[in-house]
């Protein structure tokens, strides 16, 4: 499923997070430029040249990161290094800090050290001998990493957007085009943020700064473009259990563990493996942390409690209404938006924050989730087009029956999706592209514009023209070189929302003081799953066959071989119906967005009144999008 589809459908998502600093005051900013006179006592020099070019680290010293420097080079490390002992043995040294160890690794291997380290991190390296600065984000983007150009042509790097925009040398104005595109559910540029001056380093990428300028390049890729895919064989699938165990073990090494346990296969598999590993290593059992959704379409309480009991886990189960109390869901969500560096993506966050707080009170230091399973364990529906194109009727029949057995969809909808939406329609596009490539491309751009644009967004002519230009970046290849399936899978690495979701949870973890880890976003596990052919991912005739087989083989009492996925669509609509009208009245419209020229007030009011009268989920979701963005702009639009 596409990332845009996930956001637009508002399906129930577990809070997505990895690791985070606990105290916002400990954010660091690495400043690359000329030595500044009168630096504060909290500023430390990472590396310098006699001419004055240097890198300084501004921020309080803390145990959330470490630095090391020798005569010409310096390194800052923020994160978790999984293979520290292995690196120390390879280098023949012992170091008091991860930064010291990695500086030795850089001195030996150069920037290729990224091929040898495993972990979740942001790394800044200043190489004074080559006058280069590297800023490196971990392969899947567990740690955020941003950069900005400041006054005096200085380059600033940090894990925190707020630390950058609050820096006196950085322009704090908001990015109008990104705000407008967000309302249209378009995110064209992976490096873009909601601030004009701030850019992100995408997952698996590194920023390189020299005297000639800056560039961002990908350094980690399970299947690089232009090279044949090294597909996993059926025999190699035996490694899946070991890689999943390793990913869970790495997370549990960070402290007493809890599990965000839904009724889905992904979180259940993580809970089962964590329980098994804890007992084998004689560690305390993880604590199951569950939310109970009241709507019958998404009520998984029986499964959640059954899994907890079968695994013998302590269980913190909170009914959803108890988690949000009398405030409801959306008002606390807006409070989070006001205090965050970007508008909130996961509307369920207030409930999961309360669940995490309960876990922390019970001694939990790290919370594991099943997030990432949808991205890496499932088969993209665009496989249908590839199978039709190759004439693989048997594979097509297997795909159809797999969907039918795995998802709760009406037969008519399943038939339409299989044969047309993800089958014949993409193939028709290939034919039209070959007949008239320029005309077909223009047609696709126009259709995308008409489908995604909102008549109440971007009344400003200059902004509207900018948005029209940006749509070009969203047009996918009509005939992808590796096929439609692989092109869709690629979005798991490249889509802007991948970074935004992980960054949002980084902020959540920092505020709560717990580490939250996704084993299914572990780079070694993803490297395998990314290259697993679709017929092996569904070899048992069901979606997520790999994890179903693992759970059934190792924990047969759980009985999840026939479990089907559920979604919270109906419940989410009921929340919108109950809470949106009062919130809109209390806001008195969206004057901050209108003042920026992002929306037209009159047309927006017309849209809102129509949505409130019809009470459709789609219409109310658009009103919520406006409220969410308005709350953020009021708090951040003037550089607040």
Residues forming a β-bridge with 205: 218
Most confident region among 65-74, 229-238, 291-300 by mean pLDDT? 229-238
Across the range 308-334, mean pLDDT stands at 93
CA dihedral for 393, 381, 469, 495, sign (positive or negative) = negative
Stated length of the chain: 640
pLDDT of residue 562: 56
Nearest to 293 by CA among 285, 283, 304: 304
pLDDT over 60 at 618, yes or no: yes
Alpha-carbon distance of 603 to 511, in angstroms, equals 38
What backbone torsions phi and psi does residue 121 show, to the nearest 5 degrees?
-170, 165
pLDDT of residue 17: 24
Across the range 62-83, mean pLDDT stands at 87
pLDDT over 80 at 441, yes or no: yes
The domain spans of the chain are 3-19+230-376+496-557, 24-218, 383-494, 570-636
Alpha-carbon distance of 262 to 269, in angstroms, equals 11
DSSP state of 227: S
What backbone torsions phi and psi does residue 319 show, to the nearest 5 degrees?
-60, 140
Nearest to 485 by CA among 372, 371, 390, 373: 390
List the single range of 32-36, 110-114, 201-205, 224-228 with lowest mean pLDDT: 32-36
Q: Of 340 and 12, which is predicted with more confidence?
A: 340
- Residue 296: pLDDT band (50, 70, 90) is confident
SS3 at position 58: strand
pLDDT of residue 404: 85
- What is the CATH T-level fold of the domain 3-19+230-376+496-557, as seen in this structure? Rossmann fold (3.40.50)
What backbone torsions phi and psi does residue 165 show, to the nearest 5 degrees?
-70, -20
pLDDT of residue 60: 58
pLDDT over 60 at 35, yes or no: no
List the single range of 80-84, 94-98, 553-557 with lowest mean pLDDT: 553-557
- For the stretch 492-531, pLDDT in tens is 899 999 999 999 988 898 889 999 999 999 999 999 999 9
- Residue 34: pLDDT band (50, 70, 90) is low
pLDDT of residue 22: 26
SS3 labels along 393-448: HHHHHHHHHHHHHHCCCCHHHHHHHHHHHHHHHHHHHHHHHHHCHHHHHHHHHHHH
Alpha-carbon distance of 83 to 405, in angstroms, equals 41
pLDDT over 60 at 51, yes or no: no
Share of the chain above pLDDT 90, in %: 69
Q: Of 129 and 81, which is predicted with more confidence?
A: 81
Domain range 24-218, CATH architecture: 4-Layer Sandwich (3.60)
SS3 content of the chain, % helix, strand, coil (to 5): 50, 15, 35
Q: Of 262 and 405, which is predicted with more confidence?
A: 262
- Residue 548: pLDDT band (50, 70, 90) is confident
- For the stretch 149-171, pLDDT in tens is 988 788 999 999 999 999 999 99
pLDDT of residue 52: 57
Q: Quote the mean pLDDT of the chain.
A: 88
pLDDT of residue 556: 76
What backbone torsions phi and psi does residue 69 show, to the nearest 5 degrees?
-150, 150
pLDDT of residue 32: 81
List the single range of 12-16, 161-165, 257-261, 386-390 with lowest mean pLDDT: 12-16
Pairing status of strand 53-58 against strand 29-34 = antiparallel
List the single range of 340-349, 421-430, 563-572, 578-587 with lowest mean pLDDT: 563-572
């Amino acid at each position: 499923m596409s990332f845009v589809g996930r956001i637009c459908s508002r399906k129930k998502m577990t809070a997505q997070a990895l690791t985070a600093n606990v105290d916002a005051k400990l954010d660091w900013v690495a400043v690359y430029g000329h030595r500044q006179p009168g630096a504060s006592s909290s500023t430390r020099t990472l590396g310098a040249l006699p001419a004055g070019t240097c890198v300084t680290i501004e921020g309080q010293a803390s145990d959330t990161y470490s630095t090391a420097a020798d005569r010409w080079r310096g390194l800052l490390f923020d994160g978790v290094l999984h293979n520290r002992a292995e690196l120390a043995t390879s280098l023949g040294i012992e170091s008091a800090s991860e930064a010291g160890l990695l500086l030795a690794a850089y001195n030996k291997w150069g920037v290729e050290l990224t091929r040898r380290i495993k972990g979740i991190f942001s790394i800044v390296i200043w190489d004074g001998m080559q006058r280069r600065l590297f800023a490196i984000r971990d392969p899947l983007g567990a740690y955020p990493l941003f950069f900005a150009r400041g006054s005096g042509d200085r380059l600033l790097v940090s894990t925190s957007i707020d630390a950058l925009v609050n820096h006196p040398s950085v322009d704090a104005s908001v990015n109008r085009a990104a705000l407008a595109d967000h309302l249209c559910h378009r995110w064209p540029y992976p490096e873009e943020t909601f601030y004009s001056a701030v850019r992100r380093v995408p997952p698996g990428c590194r920023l390189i700064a020299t005297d000639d300028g800056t560039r961002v390049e990908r350094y980690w890729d399970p299947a690089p473009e232009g090279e044949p895919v090294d597909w996993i064989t059926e025999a190699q699938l035996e490694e899946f259990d070991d890689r999943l165990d390793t990913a869970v073990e790495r997370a549990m090494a960070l402290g007493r563990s809890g599990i965000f346990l839904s009724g889905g296969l992904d979180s259940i598999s993580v809970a089962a493996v964590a329980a098994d590993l804890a007992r084998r290593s004689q560690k305390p059992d993880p604590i199951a942390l569950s939310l109970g959704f009241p709507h019958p379409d998404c009520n998984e309480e029986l499964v959640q409690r059954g899994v907890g009991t079968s695994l013998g886990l302590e269980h913190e189960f909170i009914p959803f209404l108890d988690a949000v109390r009398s405030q409801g869901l959306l008002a606390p969500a807006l409070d989070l938006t006001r205090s965050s560096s970007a508008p909130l993506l996961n509307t369920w966050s207030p409930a999961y924050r309360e669940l995490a707080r309960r876990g922390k009170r019970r001694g939990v230091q790290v919370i594991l989730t099943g997030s990432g399973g949808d991205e890496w364990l499932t088969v993209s529906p665009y496989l249908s087009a590839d199978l039709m194109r190759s004439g693989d009727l048997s594979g097509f029949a297997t795909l159809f029956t797999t969907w039918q057995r795995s998802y709760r969809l009406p037969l008519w909808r399943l038939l339409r999706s299989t044969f047309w939406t993800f089958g014949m329609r993409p193939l028709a596009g290939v034919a039209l592209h070959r007949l008239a490539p320029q005309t077909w491309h223009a047609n696709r751009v126009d259709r995308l514009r008409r489908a995604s644009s909102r008549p109440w967004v971007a009344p400003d002519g200059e902004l509207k023209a900018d948005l029209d230009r940006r749509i070009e970046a969203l047009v996918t290849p009509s005939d992808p070189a590796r096929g439609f399936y692989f092109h869709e899978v690629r979005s798991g690495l490249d889509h802007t929302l991948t970074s935004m979701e992980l960054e949002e949870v980084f902020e959540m973890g920092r505020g709560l003081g717990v580490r939250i880890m996704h084993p299914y976003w572990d780079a070694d596990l993803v490297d395998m799953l990314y290259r697993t052919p679709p017929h092996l991912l569904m070899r048992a005739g069901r979606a997520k066959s790999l994890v179903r087989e693992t759970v059934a083989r190792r924990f047969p009492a759980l009985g999840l071989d026939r479990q089907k996925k559920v979604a919270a669509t109906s419940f989410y609509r009921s929340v919108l119906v109950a809470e949106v009208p009062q919130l809109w009245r209390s806001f008195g419209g969206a004057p901050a967005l209108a003042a920026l020229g992002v929306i037209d007030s009159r047309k927006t009011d017309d849209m809102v009144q129509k949505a409130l009268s019809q009470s459709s989920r789609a219409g109310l979701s658009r009103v919520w999008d406006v409220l969410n963005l308005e709350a953020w702009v009021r708090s951040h639009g003037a550089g607040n």
